[in-house]
Amino acid sequence: MEAPSAVRSDPYWSASRRGRGKTMDFFVYQQAAFMNNIAADVRLRRGVLSRPLVNELHATAASFPAVRARYGRYFERAVRMPEPAFTTLVDKLRPRLPSRGPSAELRTSMALRYLGGGSYPDICAAFGVATARIYNCLWEVIDAVNATASLDFNFMPGDPVWRRQTAQGFNRSRKTPFDNVLGAIDGIAVDQEQPLARDVPCVADYYSRKGFYGFNTQAVCDAQYEFIWMSCKSPRSFQDSAAFTSTDLGAMLMNPRDATTMQLIQAATILSATRRTRRGR
């Protein structure tokens, strides 16, 4: 017979010899090792008792044509812009978006759907991606927009050439006798979470009469419905006139000694307070 080895490779054996002077039953350690092996086997074989992998919670990432077909005639409503405008935006952002991973169309459409009010579970289901991927694409698109010079606001009231071209655009599109309109201005309430008392002077100032917290955002668009200026710095409780006056543009126009304001007064140019949307034509 072969003599038993003096060295035990089983770690449970050495542990059983140091039990405060008492030798614990080696059978207990054998059962513990057996259960560990069973647990590892169940985990590796993806049994019903194992925790599902994160990637298996979501379907395979869909291609942009598949997502486009899934939305169908509601695609423009989902991304909040006409499809030709979406294609133009993607072409402008493509050089600044990562080349690996989802395509530029998928990244942009995911970001626009989220910014348009889409919930992340629905976006996960429609695009076949994980939640983390949605937020990564969101910030990648936002950074690309901020870094694209062609998407900067084009508002130059001190430039006579710009004033003339902008006014001509309004005159052609609306067929009105006024040839001195530089833009259409309006305000909108942008929803936000309730601010903390340590971050704002008065939390109640941000509460809207419509029943939510928000900012009063002022914006100006041209005759092509493109934004050329905006400001988001006033609480929602502010009226549009007070919110506009608190902006840099409003402060400049309220100062008759400002050089640009004097040019606008001499040229008799105006900012229209209202402008109907395409649906209201």
Mean pLDDT calculated for residue range 250-274: 85
Domain interval for residue 70: 64-149
169 and 135 part of one domain:
no
Mean pLDDT calculated for residue range 60-86: 90
Q: Nearest CA to 110 among 100, 98, 96, 120?
A: 120
- Whole-number percent of the chain with pLDDT over 70: 74
Q: Nearest CA to 218 among 235, 194, 199?
A: 235
* Residue 228, in any domain of the structure: yes
274 and 215 part of one domain:
yes
| pLDDT band at residue 278 under the 50/70/90 scheme | very low
For residue 269, pLDDT beyond 90: no
Q: Nearest CA to 77 among 112, 25, 36?
A: 112
210 and 114 part of one domain:
no
What DSSP state is assigned to residue 207? B
109 and 202 part of one domain:
no
The pLDDT of residue 172 is 82
What DSSP state is assigned to residue 55? G
Task: Mark which of 149, 169, 197 sits at the end of a domain.
Answer: 149
165 and 275 part of one domain:
yes
Q: How far apart are CA 212 and CA 192, in angstroms?
A: 8
* Residue 245, in any domain of the structure: yes
Q: What integer best gives the mean pLDDT of the chain?
A: 79
The pLDDT of residue 28 is 53
Task: Mark which of 128, 149, 170 sits at the end of a domain.
Answer: 149
Q: How far apart are CA 219 and CA 234, in angstroms?
A: 13
* Residue 7, in any domain of the structure: no
231 and 119 part of one domain:
no
271 and 235 part of one domain:
yes
170 and 239 part of one domain:
yes
- Helix residue ranges, H only, the chain: 11-16, 26-44, 64-71, 75-79, 83-93, 104-115, 120-127, 131-147, 160-174, 240-245, 248-253, 259-267
Tell me the per-residue pLDDT of 111-167, one tens digit each, with 9 for 90 and over: 999 988 888 889 998 898 998 999 999 999 999 999 999 888 889 998 999 999 998
* Residue 102, in any domain of the structure: yes
Domains of the chain: total: 2
Task: Mark which of 86, 119, 149 sits at the end of a domain.
Answer: 149
Q: Nearest CA to 103 among 112, 114, 94?
A: 94
Mean pLDDT calculated for residue range 11-22: 44
134 and 215 part of one domain:
no
* Residue 212, in any domain of the structure: yes
* Residue 15, in any domain of the structure: no
105 and 125 part of one domain:
yes
* Count of Cβ atoms closer than 10 Å to residue 124 Cβ: 18
165 and 276 part of one domain:
yes
For residue 180, pLDDT beyond 50: yes
* Report field, pTM of the whole predicted structure over 0.85: no
Tell me the per-residue pLDDT of 194-250, one tens digit each, with 9 for 90 and over: 888 888 888 888 888 888 898 899 999 998 888 999 998 888 888 888 889 889 999
166 and 136 part of one domain:
no
The CA-CA-CA angle for residues 258, 261, 263, to 5°, reads 115
